[in-house]
Amino acid sequence: MWRDVALVAGRDLRIELRSRVATNQVAPFALLVLILFAFALDPDTGVLESATPGLYWIVVLFSGTLAVSRSGSVDEADGVRDALRLSGLAPAAVFLGKAAAVVAQLLVLELVLVGAVGVLYDAPLAGFPLMTATCLAATVAIAATGVLYSGLVAGLRVRDTLLPLLLLPVLAPVLIGATRAFEDAFGADGIRGWEWCGLVVLFAVVYVVAGCLAYGALLEG
């Protein structure tokens, strides 16, 4: 089982290493959106500063949608779906492997973005234990939900447009929880960041379990 997870994750990461979609397209897109937010919200009025945690997670969410969509399109190649079904890999292992590959990519991206908001938005980066825990939990949540839903739309002609419609409302709790936790980490008063982080962890657990159970039926569908 874990051998298969590693096999699938390794394959997706190797494909990413070759095609460089995450580094050459998703990451620049994320930075671009950060800059556009600065145009939309005047940096001098302090709006940008107070909104930084929310903007950060919006960018991660959008980039995550792109990464997940790419992760799904890898398996859309002619005959790959058949080969996956014939391979004898447990569907849960395929799900976990794909999710793990997305987690790895998103964690790197988040690290870059933390540096970017520190520099561009002058964010008061602090509370690193809470930040790290939140990033881990939220990334697992986004990746698990994303891979599950990209499996849901796999093979449809409209998969690229349908995926965000299905995925983003479901991820609303992750956005809320991770944003609150970051606000606490950055020193806002009266927010219990660790509890929000706990909410995100709960969400991640629910979706990892749901994905393991449901992915098999999706591969068949």
Applying CB under 8 A, the residues found at the interface with another protein are 4, 7, 11, 14-15, 18-19, 74, 77-80, 82-83, 85-89, 152-153, 156-158, 162, 165-166, 169-170, 172-173, 176-177, 180, 190-191, 199, 202-203, 206, 210, 214, 217-218, 220-221
Give φ, ψ of 74 to 5 degrees: -60, -40
Closest by Cα among 85, 71, 38, 80 to 153: 71
Distance in Å, CB of 132 to another protein, minimum: 21
Nearer to another protein, 116 or 148 (CB): 148
Least distance from another protein to the Cβ atom of residue 199, Å: 6
Q: Which residue has the tokens 């991206």?
A: 109
Number of H helices, E strands in the chain: 10, 0
Residue 28 C-beta: closest distance to another protein, Å? 20
Q: Which is nearer to another protein, 27 or 178 (CB)?
A: 178
DSSP 8-class letter at 126? -
Residue closer to another protein (CB basis): 110 or 184: 184
Residue pair 146/170 in contact (Cβ under 8 Å)? The answer is: no
Separation between Cα atoms, residue 68 and residue 147, nearest integer Å: 6
